[in-house]
Chain A
Amino acid sequence: EVQLLESGGGLVQPGGSLRLSCAASGFTFSSYAMSWVRQAPGKGLEWVSAISGSSDHTYYIDSVKGRFTISRDNSKNTLYLQMNSLRGEDTATYYCAKYTSEGGGELGDYWGQGTLVSVSS
C-alpha cells in the first residue's frame, strides 16, 4: 500500500525557515517523480515544486524560486522541501504528491495527508 507521510510543519515568523519532509513507502521511491502542492486556508490547490526520480530535474512556481529548494534522498525514501525567507502568503497546508513516472507523468496518483505551515509574527 502506497503511503506518504508529511512532517515538519509549524508556526514560523516571517523571514524564517522550515524544512518539510515526506516519508514514502509501498512503492519504489526512486522510480517516480514527486511534487509539493499547497492549499492556503479556505483556498484552492497550488502546485509548488517537483523533482524527478533521479533528482536530475527540479521545477518551481515563480513565487517560491530562490526561496524554496526541493530535494530527495532515495536511500531514505524521503522527499524534502526547504523553505527559507518565509512570507505570510506561504501559509498553507503542504501536501506531497506522487507522479506516475520517473520524469513526471500524471500528477498526484497518491497524496499525503498534509502538514500545516503558518507564517505569522
Chain B
Amino acid sequence: QSVLTQPPSASGTPGQRVTISCSGSRSNIGSNTVNWYQQLPGMAPKLLIYSNSQRPSGVPDRFSGSKSGTSASLAISGLQSEDEADYYCAAWDASLNSWVFGGGTKLTVL
C-alpha cells in the first residue's frame, strides 16, 4: 500500500491529452513539492517534473504538472507512442521523514 495514491492504469490514443492523478496528505503533498518520474520498460526512472510543475531541460513541454492542496496531477498532451511507460509521483513526507512514492500508473497508448 503506497503512501501516495495513483490510478494503476491510464490510456489514450495518439494526439490525445491524458492526465494522471496523485493523492496524498498534509504531511507529504500538502506541505512539500511533488516530483514525477517516467520509467520506460526495462529502464531506470527519469525525472520528468520537479517542484510540482518544473521541467528539467530536455523534457518536452507536452508534459506538465500541477498541485492543489494534497493532490497533484501530471498531464501529457499530444500523446505519442513513445510515452507508453510507468509514471510515478513522489514527495517528501515530513511525518515519516522519508520520500514516498505513488504506486505508479501504467500508461498505454492505444
Contacts and interface: CB of A to CB of B under 8 A. Distances in A.
Of B45, B92, B98, B99, chain A has the most CB atoms within 10 Å of the CB of B99
A29 interface: no
A46 interface: yes
A46 B50 contact: no
A44 B47 contact: no
A59 B86 CA distance: 26
25 contacts: A44-B102, A44-B104, A45-B90, A45-B101, A45-B104, A47-B90, A47-B98, A50-B99, A59-B98, A61-B98, A62-B96, A95-B44, A97-B45, A104-B92, A106-B51, A107-B90, A108-B35, A108-B45, A109-B47, A109-B50, A109-B56, A110-B47, A111-B44, A111-B45, A113-B44
A106 B56 CA distance: 11
> Helix, strand, loop or mixed for chain A's interface?
strand
Nearest to B44: A111
Nearest to B86: A44
> Helix, strand, loop or mixed for chain B's interface?
strand
Contact of B2 (A44, A59, A97, A100): A44
Contacts of A97: 45
Interface of B: 2, 33, 35, 37, 39, 44-47, 50-51, 56, 86, 88, 90, 92, 96-104
Contacts, number: 57
Nearest to A60: B98
A45 B39 CA distance: 10
Contact of B101 (A44, A50, A106): A44
Interface in A13-67: 35, 37, 44-47, 50, 59-62
Interface residues of A, number: 24
